[in-house]
Amino acid sequence: MDSMARPGGAVALVMLLALSAQAGSDLPVRRALRVASVVVETTGCAGVVAENPQVIVTAKHCVKGRTLRVRLSTGSERTAWVVAVNDASDQAVLFLEEPADVEPLAIVRRRQIPGTVLYFEGNPERPRFQNARLDRIGRCPSLPDLPNALFTSIDGRPGDSGAPLVDGAAAIVGLVHGGTRCHIATPAATLARLVDHVLGRYVVETTRLFGRRMGVLLDKASELGGAPASLTRPRSPCRGGGAWRRGPRA
């Protein structure tokens, strides 16, 4: 009887070791996601610090008004201004009043391939770390003007909108949009161009940029010619395009 039980026990041990190894390999991604993720308290959605300590990206449908409150993973709360949105891709960029004391996640700059393994944690108030899969790329009914929506296997729930999906290097591949059972995400390609506008990287794309002051709306259909009304670029931009800082009041 003892000899018959040993093979089963050996298989169970191998499976346990494999699961432990997988959990260990995911740990850096999980940590990076948890540190950079934020809660958009005004609407209860999620978001993430991206590319720059003063930049947060989230879903556009999570944005109500031009000034929002966000809570960082450190527990601190900040005011953020809406500085760019893309209606077609349901994406928005927020600018924090002060830099976040967390490491921002990079945004992927390459085309994604169906079958790629992704990672997802959802809203930081109820994190659920998951391995997911990019099933296909195409159009979905709720994003009719976006040809490259990401169809994934994530187990999303209400409140996860704006949460990032990342690759094995913890770089942002997309943001949760919703759709059927919250499986749909918006792509990094449009998000990167939106953030590049805000950081002054001069990428051509039609966007709407909001100045810090209420009522300032700049319609842009060409290269970004300067900062929004009360934001100025530092003289020595940091790596990645530099951060905006608040300019003097008029």
Is 45 within the bounds of a domain?
no
Residue 243 contacts residue 230 (beta carbons within 8 Å) = no
Of 192 and 222, the structure prediction assigns the larger pLDDT to 192
Report the percent of the chain where pLDDT is more than 90: 58
Picking from 38, 102, 31, 42, the residue whose alpha carbon sits closest to that of residue 71 is 38
Is residue 46 within 8 Å of residue 176, measured between CB atoms? Answer: yes
pLDDT tens for 189-219 read 999 999 999 998 754 444 444 443 333 333 3
The pLDDT value given to residue 6: 54
Residue 191 contacts residue 175 (beta carbons within 8 Å): yes
Specify if 151 maps to a domain. yes
50: which strand partners?
105
* Total number of domains constituting the chain: 1
pLDDT tier, 239 (very low <50, low <70, confident <90, very high otherwise): very low
Residue 104 belongs to a domain = no
- Give the Å distances, CA to CA, from 73 to 30, 33, 38, 46: 13, 10, 6, 11
Look at residue 173 and tell me if it is in a domain: yes
Would residue 83 count as lying in a domain?
Answer: no
pLDDT digits (tens, 9 = 90+) for 133-177: 999 999 998 899 999 999 999 988 888 999 999 999 999 999 999
What is the domain extent for residue 159?
117-190
Residues 167, 204, 233, CA angle at the centre, nearest 5°? Answer: 85
Q: Is residue 206 part of a domain?
A: no
Residue whose entry in the numeric block shows the structure tokens 């500085």? 83
> What Å distances lie between residue 66 and 84, 94, 210, 240, CA to CA?
10, 9, 8, 25
Q: Which of 115-129, 157-171, 218-232 has the lowest average pLDDT?
A: 218-232
pLDDT in tens, 93-119: 999 999 999 999 999 998 889 999 999
DSSP state of 237: P
Closest to 201 measured CA to CA, from 134, 107, 135: 107
Please say if the pLDDT value at position 19 is more than 80. no
Per-residue pLDDT, 158: 87
Among 198, 225, 193, which Cα is nearest to 210's?
198
Specify if 9 maps to a domain.
no
CATH number at residue 166: 2.40.10.10
Judge whether residue 7 has pLDDT over 60. no
Largest CA distance in the chain: 86
177: its two tokens: 């949009």
Structural contact between residues 120 and 129, judged by C-beta atoms closer than 8 angstroms? yes
Closest to 155 in 3D by CA, of 186, 132, 175, 171: 132
Q: Three-state DSSP class for 174? A: strand
In a domain, 131, yes or no: yes
Predicted TM-score of the model (pTM): 0.72
